[in-house]
Structure 1
């Protein structure tokens, strides 16, 4: 299967990703493990999630999807066979949202703990945060890359104009 590079990150992926928003919602842990095994056994590797997944389910707080993926990684030992993409920025409770240095620094540690890994391959801004300067967010991501906690960054739900501003 032909792989594609994510931007200029050096990370190469097959053309399909598994969306982990169902974990802890419509797929319990047992079913999630079965789905992840089948996905990876079929030659795919990109697993996409977010810190907020599946916080919309009654009784959940967010982080359930990352927790299930982390449990699967621990059980199977397949961390070296997958690319983990997760996101930050959507509301996770009172005072837990946005893309400030303080929030991202805390959120990445929470995601690493739930995912039971020492690094995130692709860490993405889940939403644009116009209350935080882009430079603050980008400098925070740069620090996380230098620390080895994140390999590459991305953005979701940004306008083309804001992406262009971030790239400059």
Structure 2
């Protein structure tokens, strides 16, 4: 992951599907829970990254979910570069926790009990869902920029926009995102 903190905010095209929203809700809720636990204890060693990083990541991922799953529900999120960085940092912390090495053991223990008891899932499945979310948030294809520009500037469909949408959907599918 490259540090893009100094990069510009950028528009990100988001899927509207139920599976995508379920991934975003799960990940957002778990990141928020870890952020809250880290904030209460004021111990970033046990949680691997500062509470604020968990909270920023939770907020941006939580904003990705939708309750309107119609295919025509096109959504664009203006994604600050620092927020995408926060999501990547949390991903690294979760991967470290899944490896249960060193400092990640406490976080792995906390998450295994929480994920199993509340969401009937495990840490590896959470990381898989987060990677699908990151695939969407990190997508930087010319087609995605074309599509966002078209949606912002031109009412109605066009051949260029339809081709760009097909390319974005294909990229999401290659990353395992159901759309």
State the TM-score, normalizing by the size of structure 1. Answer: 0.35
Larger radius of gyration: 2
State the TM-score, normalizing by the size of structure 2. Answer: 0.33
Structure number with the higher helix fraction is 2
Structure number with the higher strand fraction is 1
Q: Which has the higher contact order (CA 8 A, sep 6+)?
A: 2
